[in-house]
Structure 1
Amino acid sequence: MEKHNYQRLVTIATWVATCVAVTLLVIKSSAFLYTGAVSILASLIDSLMDMGMSVVNLLAVRYALQPPDKEHSFGHGKAEHLAGMAQAAFITGSAIMLLFSGVTELLDPKAIQHSNAGISVMVISTLITFALVMFQRYVIRKTNNTVIKADSMHYAMDIYMNAAVLVALLLSRFGWYWADGLFAVLIALYICYGAFGIAKDSVQNLLDRQLPESFQIQVLNCALAVPEVMGAHDIRTRQAGQTKFIQLHLELDDKLDLYTAHKIADQVEDKIVELWPEADVLIHQDPQSVVPQEKKLELE
């Protein structure tokens, strides 16, 4: 998609997430003070972390969207993956705090006051969060942005968390007061699991993990779609923010002059950029006779 539309969608998504986080923080704080339910405290702590992460996301996206400069010739896209690491740290911190509160309540369960008010707040929170996740998934389909993807994953977990809190509140109304603490502990463990997934994905991107094999096959097909290309090898790919970095060697007829070889490489690049307009492509031209046999076999 066009860079302008990408920037606009990502920026809107981060601002919407920030506004939602603030709204949820306010209403959940009121509900916890009114009911004293530790399961609502669990959701409140998570919303506090959401707000912190949304602020980090705003700063990261703003920085990542800056064009390449003299000191950052490959752009600033990896700021998005650093934000993903920050998200994982925030989420883990909230899980630890929540685990402590849940265990404390589980050991000494108490009746929840004004549970109806708590239930109403959690229903409203769930509906708001669901609407945000639907919007974020639309943005992800359009941009495949790492920060929005991680943020959406966390808000999707919030929906399950809110449902768990609702179950805990309902069970507490029937005298099962231990449910409040138990669900807080289970939610904390679930949050830790989600944080691990976010951290793992962010680390792999920072380490320049190769893009999926299906992507590389598409790159190879783009090269082979140009009639003069006799093969391709050493396909290397990685991603930083929006930008996909693609490198490959083309196998061409030995007798081609440099100008013709360059024009063929331009055609291959055009086909790649047609599929991924945000791609940064680097192509090397090799005479077919100098390509080692093992590299040719690699593509079969």
Structure 2
Amino acid sequence: MSEDIAVAAVASDADSPNGRLMRRATYAAVAVAGTLVVVKLVAYVMTGSVALLSSLIDSALDSAASIVNLIAVRQALQPADEEHRFGHGKAEPLAGLGQAAFITGSSVFLLFEAFNRLWDPQPVTQGWVGIGVMIFAIVATIGLVAYQKSVVARTNSVAVNADSLHYTGDVLINVSVIVSILLSTLAGFPYADPIFAIGIAAFLLWNAKGIFTDSLDLLMDRELEEEDRERILAIAREHPLVHDAHDLRTRSSGQQQFIQLHLELDRDLTLVKAHAIAEQVDRQIREAFPQADVLIHQDPVGIVEEHHDDLAYQDKVLEPGEVPKE
């Protein structure tokens, strides 16, 4: 793909249907999280439940993370410019690292609060208020998660997916808060409240680890999944005039994927013919990976270059001591 085409492809992201879906998903997350923060704060003041406090903290974190996501998605969808020729897609994993930091810090705070309550248990008051708030939170969160999942299925957005993981965990958290309030108020077991809070904090830390790992992989330009890499090579090798494909390199940046590879072609082909073959392979790869920017280099078959990273490939092409033909 030429540079002009690549820039045009990235530039279209902001106004594309996928771009609009991603922005709407971030707006919905901020609205839901903000609403839940307000109602849970009121419920915590009325009940004094530390488990409900943990849910309140989680919603506050979700609200902050969703605001960061909103900013990051808007930035990631900006078109490429002279200083960012590959676009701004890495704003998404940067937001993911910020979310992981938010979650880790709040989980540690929650653990301290829960262990204090284990040492000095406090009764939960007006438990039915807390239960009612949690039921409302569950219904709102399930609706948001369903919408986010549909957006992720269409866009494969890292930022929206990270937000969706938060809110999926929130459903479990809200259910556990209801159980802890029931055990504290009806069963007379005050330790249930801090015990459930500790479990929620551990769950949040586990989510933070996953978000951190996924974001770091994107920032460090980790290769695409092996299944995708094999599919790319298979597409390239299917062309009847391609002898082989090698030196495949892949990475992702937000919505954009970058694919580079070498094609082995007959050494007697004209430049025009070799270019036409490469364009055909390029088109077939982009049909399978619509968000990909593909760069293809043509090699005369039998030539071994110093940058080949596959020693087995070199052994296959030339016999020991054989000099490449000019």
Instruction: Indicate yes or no: 2:248 matched with 1:235.
Output: yes
State the partner residue of 1:205.
Answer: 218
Q: Cα distance, 1:96 vs. partner?
A: 1.1
Instruction: Indicate yes or no: 2:66 matched with 1:48.
Output: no
Deviations 1:71-115 (A, max 9, x none): 001110001000000010011111011111111111111211100
Residue type of the alignment partner of 2:63: M
Structure 1 residue runs of 4 or more that deviate by more than 6 Å after TM superposition = none
SS at match of 1:290: coil
Deviations 1:209-229 (A, max 9, x none): 011110011111221222111
Provide the TM-score with structure 1 as the length reference. 0.96
SS at match of 1:77: coil
State the partner residue of 1:163.
Answer: 175
87, 93, 99: which is aligned to 1:75? 87
> Any unmatched runs of 5+ in structure 2?
1-8, 317-326
How far apart in 2 are the matches of 1:27 and 1:222?
54
Contact kept, 8 Å, 1:234 with 1:295, in 2: the verdict is no
Q: Cα distance, 1:151 vs. partner?
A: 0.8
State the partner residue of 2:208.
Answer: 195
How do 1:1-300 and structure 2 match up within 5 A? 3=13, 4-173=16-185, 174-291=187-304, 294-295=312-313
Deviations 1:184-220 (A, max 9, x none): 1111111111101110111111000011110011111
How far apart in 2 are the matches of 1:257 and 1:211?
33
How far apart in 1 are the matches of 2:314 and 2:246?
7
How far apart in 2 are the matches of 1:99 and 1:133?
26
Q: 1:297 to 1:101 in 2, by over 3 A?
A: farther
How far apart in 1 are the matches of 2:203 and 2:98?
18
SS at match of 2:263: strand
Contact kept, 8 Å, 1:92 with 1:192, in 2: the verdict is yes
Q: Cα distance, 1:286 vs. partner?
A: 0.5
How many pairs align?
Answer: 298
How far apart in 2 are the matches of 1:142 and 1:71?
29
How far apart in 1 are the matches of 2:139 and 2:299?
57
Q: Cα distance, 1:231 vs. partner?
A: 0.8
Provide the TM-score with structure 2 as the length reference. 0.89
> Any unmatched runs of 5+ in structure 1?
none
How far apart in 2 are the matches of 1:297 and 1:122?
65
How far apart in 2 are the matches of 1:296 and 1:274?
31
How far apart in 2 are the matches of 1:275 and 1:191?
36
Q: Percent identity?
A: 48
Q: Cα distance, 1:176 vs. partner?
A: 0.5
Larger Rg computed on CA atoms? 2
SS at match of 1:236: strand
Residue type of the alignment partner of 2:130: G
